[in-house]
Structures are given as C-alpha cells and as structure tokens.
Amino acid sequence: MIALLLTLLAAPDTLELSLGQALDVALKHSPAQTQVSASRSQGTLKLIRGIGALVPTPSASVSYGNSKERSQLLPDSTIATSGWTGTAALNQVVFDPQVFAGVANAIIYAGYYADDARDKLARLIYDVTSDYLGLLTARLLRDAAASALDRADDNLRLTSEKLRLGAASQIDVMRSDVFRSQAQIQLLTSDKTLGVANATFLATAGITGDVAVKPTEQLTAPADFEVTNADSLVSEIERRNPGFKLAVKSSTISKLNLVASAASILPSASVYWSSDYADTLFPSSLKHWDNNDNISYGLRLSFPLLDIKSYILGIADASVQSRLARAGAAAARLQVRSTATSAVLGYEEARQRYDYAKRNLELNQELYRLAQEQQRLGAISLIDFFSVETNLAQAQATYVQALSDTYVQAAQISYLLGRTQPVAPAR
C-alpha cells in the first residue's frame, strides 16, 4: 500500500491499481463496506437484546413532591407536606412465551445478519472484480483502437506516397482514408466506453474525485476455476449461498413468531422485589434509604386469555407472515438454482470461447504476418490487406473480452458460493 500512496502523491489525477489494490481500496472506502460492518453490529445487538430479556431487569426512580390535605381537626385549614419518594425494583421473568420466542429469534437473527454481512462482502468483491476487469478490458480495447489508428495513418501516408510515385491509384488512397476514418470512429467509441467503465469502477470502489484509474493487472491465462461436475457445483451453491440462507432464516423466524403467537394465550409469570422509599430528606446514602423504605416481593402472574380478540388477530397475522416467508424461501431456492446453473454454464462457455478466441487470434496474427510480406512484394490488393488488418483487430478484441469473461464468470460463482476471497489472476 506504500507504493499506492506514493502513486497518489505523485499523480493525483491518475491512479494505477492492481486487482488486489483495487479490492483494498474498496474495502476501506466503499459504502458497501459500511453496510457490511453495520450488519455485523446489528446481529450482535439483536443477540444481546434477546438474551438480555432473560436477565433480571432493574429499575429505580426518585422524585420530590408537595401535597396539601384538609385538616381533620380544623376543616377550614390545610396541612402541607413535602418530601422525597423513590422506588428500586428488580423483575425476573420466570415464564413468558413472548420472551422465550424473542430469545430464539435473537439467536437466529444473529446468524441472519452474519449471513447478510457475508453476502454483502461477497457481493462487493464480485462487483469490484467485475468492474475492475471491465475497466481493464476497456483500456486494452482502447489501446488496440489507438494502435489501429496509428496503422491506418501509416497506411494512408504510404498509399499517398505511392500515388505520388505512380504506384497506386486515387481509389487506393480513398480506401486508406476510409479505413482511417473507421479507425477514428472506433477510437472515439473506445474512449467513451473507457470513460463509462472508469466512472463505474470509481462508484463501486468508493473513490471520490476526478480520477483516471489505470489497471496494472496482467491477465496471461484464463481464470482457473475447477468445475468437475456442474450438477454438484450447483448443489454446493444452493447449500452455501448466503442469500438463500437469509430466506431460510426468515422463514424460521416467521415460524417461531407463529408458535409464540399461539403460546401467548398461556399465562406469564415473573418474580419481583421492590423497595419503596419515603422521607422528607433526599436519600443521601444506602443506609438512609434502608432506614426509610418498605420492602415488597412476590410472584406476578398475567392472564392474556381475557384479550381473546388480540390473540386471534395475532395468530392470523403471524400465520400470513409465515406463509409469505415459506413462499419466499421456496422462490429463493428456485432462483438460486437458476442463477447457479446459468453461472456454471456461463463459465464453461467462457472457457471454451477463450480457447476458440486464442486460436482465432493466433491464426489472424499469422495471416497478418503473411499479408505484410505479400504487401511488400505487391502480391496482395490494398482492400484485401485492409480486410486482414480489420480481422486481426476484431480477433484481438474478441480475445481480450473472452479472457476477461472467464474471470468475471469465476467471480460470479465465487459470489454465489459466498466466498469473500477474490479469484486471483493466473501468473
């Protein structure tokens, strides 16, 4: 990271990043990372709050007041009294279906938010990887378009010189000029694509300011993600996917709420202890309080059976929520399986497309080498040579895109598996 800081200081408008550095920046500055931390904290708070309901609950209050009452001996006069009153109490739940259900929900919610944080982190890594590779691809294609324009300029100058020497016709010059115009258009489009890709990456990584990011990652081989059996990988994704786990936990929570609603008709019980203070002086010490208080303790029972209307409505609402949660979990399972199948097939297709693109590029490079030799010997027409150059540029673009796609598809599978480690480029 020291090299990264030196780069920032040396060139504030240009930032060179490898994929690993891009992930480091995103994990520090992306708003998504704040969401990850918030989810983890929320799960901890839910757990503490749920378990806290089983712990004795203390309460205390102190107040000062004045009161006036009519004298029994002198009806026309009043007696004014003033003083301090206070209460210190302790309450402990013995049996309460709502409290017990809340504890169970808190434990499940802790796992829910842990899965949610993992899903957000895995999603952030996937988004950064995908957008970084998109930016890398856009820059490589832009460089290729710039090289194509340089070749077009050279061809136009060469053809113009041949025309001056009588070795080429005016139509050959026009064809060279047309080829150059097409290269200019392609470069303009590549510049726009690069700008969009740069803005997208900046937003994902949480980088503010007008910064041009220059990817330094070298992709020399396709992403190595072993897929021995597509069906088993899909099943593994279905088992480990954090999003699906969230849906399952939501269904479990709704079932617990339904059970708690049905059990709320049972009486709840708690034990209590209280100390009630009364004196004209403020309780300046525990001994002073102890000398002027009344102690009470006992068992408190609550019978919710009398509120039958709220009980029936509570069960009905919990039942509907449980049905919706079960349907959501079933839909999530189907969606995860569909997405997983698409991702696995997409990766296999990307690997095959890379092999074809690599072979196609090698053939076009050899063909271009032969065409250059024939051009020097005057054995190939200008239009045929331009066609060879165009095919070579297309083959290079297809290869770059196919190579990048293997990493994007592998990163998607990693995300679906809930992995929080990026797919490392092959070295």
CA dihedral 220, 223, 228, 231 (to 10 degrees): -150
Kindly report the CATH class assigned to 20-62+81-416: mainly alpha
Residue 78, pLDDT score: 63
Tens digits of per-residue pLDDT, 370-385? 998 887 787 887 778 8
Domain ranges of the chain: 20-62+81-416
DSSP state of 217: -
**Alpha helix (H) residue ranges in 264-298:** 286-291
Tens digits of per-residue pLDDT, 209-262? 888 999 998 888 888 877 667 788 888 888 888 888 888 888 888 888 888 888
Residue 93, pLDDT score: 87
Tell me which amino acid residue 196 is.
V
* Start-to-end Cα distance in the chain: 21
Confirm if 75 and 26 have CB atoms less than 8 A apart: no
Interaxial angle between packed helices 230-240 and 308-377, expressed in degrees from 0 to 180 and rounded to the nearest 10: 140
CB atoms within 10 A of CB 149: 21
| Residue 8, pLDDT above cutoff 50 | no
Residue 158, pLDDT score: 84
Tens digits of per-residue pLDDT, 302-350? 877 667 777 788 888 889 988 998 999 899 889 988 988 998 899 999 9
Confidence of residue 403 (pLDDT cuts 50, 70, 90): very high
Confirm if 49 and 227 have CB atoms less than 8 A apart: no
State the Cα–Cα distance between residues 385 and 404, nearest whole angstrom: 29
Question: Tokens representing 246?
Answer: 């969230």
Residue 188, pLDDT score: 95
Alpha carbon distances (Å) from 243 to 115, 206, 410, 417, 418: 8, 24, 18, 10, 9
Residue 126, pLDDT score: 92
Question: Tokens representing 145?
Answer: 């378009």
Residue 11, pLDDT score: 46
Confirm if 91 and 369 have CB atoms less than 8 A apart: no
Kind plus residue range of the DSSP H or E element containing 409: helix 382-416
Tens digits of per-residue pLDDT, 106-162? 888 888 888 888 889 999 999 999 999 999 999 989 988 998 888 889 888 888 888
State the Cα–Cα distance between residues 349 and 344, nearest whole angstrom: 9
Closest CA to 423 of 138, 266, 196, 217: 217
Confidence of residue 427 (pLDDT cuts 50, 70, 90): low
State the Cα–Cα distance between residues 60 and 86, nearest whole angstrom: 7
Q: What single string gives the DSSP state of each residue in 294-333?
A: EEEEEEEEE-GGG-HHHHHHHHHHHHHHHHHHHHHHHHHH
Kind plus residue range of the DSSP H or E element containing 292: none
| Residue 72, pLDDT above cutoff 70 | no
